[in-house]
């Protein structure tokens, strides 16, 4: 005997109607879920938007208050900035300035105590020294010091010995590190 399982005994038209009803049902369910989700998402986003705006306003107020607290020290801020600005200018000025003290000390050390200086001038890092030495032995000592001191440039401009053995000299020196 032939099995009747799987054989729809309904008329063809009714079967089509049943399928249409099922499609409508499924489509309605899907639409409901999607629309519901969309509404929920919209509500969540709008809620978050509202919350973040309110939070933003509160943060803005907090910032204004913090700014006001900071600005109330404007006198001190101004004083401090003036100090920093002037300190920067002072640093530039000191950096640019040539110091003569150390060079003078070293130039003086070149000569023995009993040498007589006639003139000493300094310009653009060049030291011009002229004077009198009491004897040739002092000249040798001067020469020795010149040889052992770190000079960039040494020019003996003038050298003379008189009848008493006194040596007059004039020299120009430049220290390497000054």
Window 158-177: residues binding other proteins (CB under 8 A): none
Give the per-residue contact string, 37-76, with other proteins (x = CB under 8 A; - = no). xxx-xx--xx-xx--xx-xx--xx-xx-xxx-xxxxxx-x
Q: Counting contacts by CB under 8 A, is residue 155 touching other proteins? A: no
- Contact, 139 vs 165, CB < 8 A? no
CB of 143 to other proteins, least distance (A): 22
- 60/137 with CB nearer other proteins: 60
Which stretches of 24-78 are assigned E, i.e. beta strand?
A: none
Q: Counting contacts by CB under 8 A, is residue 143 touching other proteins? A: no
d(CA 161, CA 136): 8
Give 129: exposed, middle or buried? Use CB within 10 Å, 0-12, 13-18, 19+.
buried
Window 13-32: residues binding other proteins (CB under 8 A): 17, 20-21, 23-24, 27-28, 30-32
* CB neighbourhood size of 149 (10 A): 15
């Amino acid at each position: 005997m032939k099995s009747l399982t799987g054989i729809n005994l309904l008329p063809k038209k009714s079967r089509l109607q049943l399928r249409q009803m099922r499609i409508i049902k499924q489509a309605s369910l899907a639409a409901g879920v999607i629309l519901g989700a969309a509404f929920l998402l919209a509500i969540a986003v709008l809620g978050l938007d509202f919350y973040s705006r309110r939070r933003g306003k509160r943060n803005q107020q907090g910032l204004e208050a913090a700014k006001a607290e900071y600005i109330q020290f404007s006198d001190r801020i101004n004083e401090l900035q003036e100090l920093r600005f002037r300190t920067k200018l002072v640093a530039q000025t000191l950096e640019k300035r040539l110091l003569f003290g150390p060079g003078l000390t070293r130039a003086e050390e070149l000569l023995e105590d009993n040498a007589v200086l006639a003139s000493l001038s300094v310009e653009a890092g060049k030291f011009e020294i002229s004077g009198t030495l009491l004897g040739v032995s002092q000249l040798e000592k001067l020469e020795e010091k010149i040889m052992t001191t770190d000079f960039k440039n040494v020019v003996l401009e003038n050298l003379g010995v008189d009848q008493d053995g006194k040596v007059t000299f004039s020299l120009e020196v430049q220290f390497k590190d000054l």
